[in-house]
A = this chain, B = another copy of it.
Amino acid sequence: MVFFMHTGFAFLEIGLTREKNTINILFKNIFIITGGLLLYYAFGFNLMYPGFEEGDMGILKFAGFGIAAPEGGMTAAYADGGYTWWTDFLFQGMFAATAATIVSGAVAERIKIGSFMIFTLIYLGLAYPIVGAWKWGGGFLESWGFYDFAGSTLVHSVGGWAALVAITLLGARIGKFGKDGESKAIPGHNIPLATAGVLVLWLGWFGFNGGSVLSADPALTSLVLVTTSLAAASGGFGAIILSTVLYKNMDLTMFLNGILGGLVGITAGADLMSPNEAVVIGFLAGIVVVLGVALVDRLKLDDPVGAVSVHLFCGIWGTLAVGLFGDKAGSGQFLTQLYGVLIIGAFCIIISGILLGGLKATLGLRVSKEEELEGLDIHEHGMDAYPDFRMNQH
């Protein structure tokens, strides 16, 4: 089901962008899934879980090609009986690809595909597992008591920080901001697909959060499914209520992004919260999404799918919420969560800044003006996403 999330991300991204760049976005998504899986197989997994030794940060343990299953890893006794080492690899590989997909949405419609591929491979193969090792691999954040159940910070913010850096370096799409700096909406070309994407993502999140229970405890698993669903629903409500109050129209895309925000927000503490707390966290995540989109716009940044607002801002909110609500609430925990957010944020900004800055100075990040106007599909892929409709139109 976590695999299926990538179908959801692909639907959402192409739905919220323009028809002329559809093939390009699909290509990037397929590349992330296949490339991410192979790369993670090649060395990311061992880097992130370096022999399961406590306190080991893993940076130096480049185990080389191939995964050596630990003793007992091939049986269900591993990981409390819920699944085996191999299943865990697939699950984690899909998590890793999620982080890259978040970046893909934010930079859509204007990034050079070659530069994007290089950045993705390095960031996914290096930065993601290093951060993961700090917590899930038993590193120093784990020792401090930092808590992130299924990746509000370790997956969503890791992608979100890179997305923020990338759109800052890339600049806005042509036509996004007018002469006086006013923001203009560039509507997505296929809203039904975007809606389907969110529903598929919601379903996939059941796997993402449910699977993160890492054990066959049915009570905990079902609590996680309930908190996940309620946060999604109330995230949607939070966003659509605020959006309708502010902008006077019932904006379906805000409803959808609110649902995603609720899902991201509950991810850090889905196993710690009561259903009532999940409703509150989700609702506030929906508010964060609407305000976040307005903030990104105010900063003259261009994020076609709202990835920064949904994944970074709600990821931060969800991580901090672990210190405010639920079983671990307390000022000490809140500060630990805050430190974790800041350290990981700084690390991600630095790494993605170096990588993307380097690419910008060498290969370049952005396609030519002509290519952007005519569409990346024709220029990079020589294809059209819906040629029959286009042929009919000429």
Chain A contact residues, CB within 8 Å of chain B: 3-4, 6-7, 10-11, 14, 18-20, 22-23, 26-27, 29-31, 33-35, 37-38, 41, 66-67, 74-76, 83-87, 89-90, 93, 113, 187-193, 195-196, 198-200, 202-203, 206, 218-219, 222-223, 225-226, 229-230, 232-234, 236-237, 249-253, 255-256, 259, 275-276, 279, 380-390, 392-393
5 contacts between A and B (CB under 8 A): A22-B191, A38-B237, A38-B279, A90-B222, A190-B192
Assembly CA distance A125 to B172 (angstroms): 45
Residues of B within 8 A of A381 (CB): 249-252
Assembly CA distance A341 to B348 (angstroms): 52
Q: Which residue on B lies nearest to A76, using beta carbons?
A: B218
Query: What's the number of copies of this chain in the assembled complex?
Result: 3
A37 with B233: CB separation less than 8 A: yes
Residues of B within 8 A of A67 (CB): 275
The 3 closest A-B pairs by CB, nearest first: A34-B233, A189-B388, A19-B388
Known: A29-B195, A34-B236. 7 other contacts (CB 8 A): A11-B196, A26-B195, A33-B199, A33-B233, A76-B218, A191-B383, A390-B392
Q: Which residue on B lies nearest to A382, using beta carbons?
A: B249
Assembly CA distance A83 to B221 (angstroms): 10
Least CB distance from A12 to B in Å reads 12
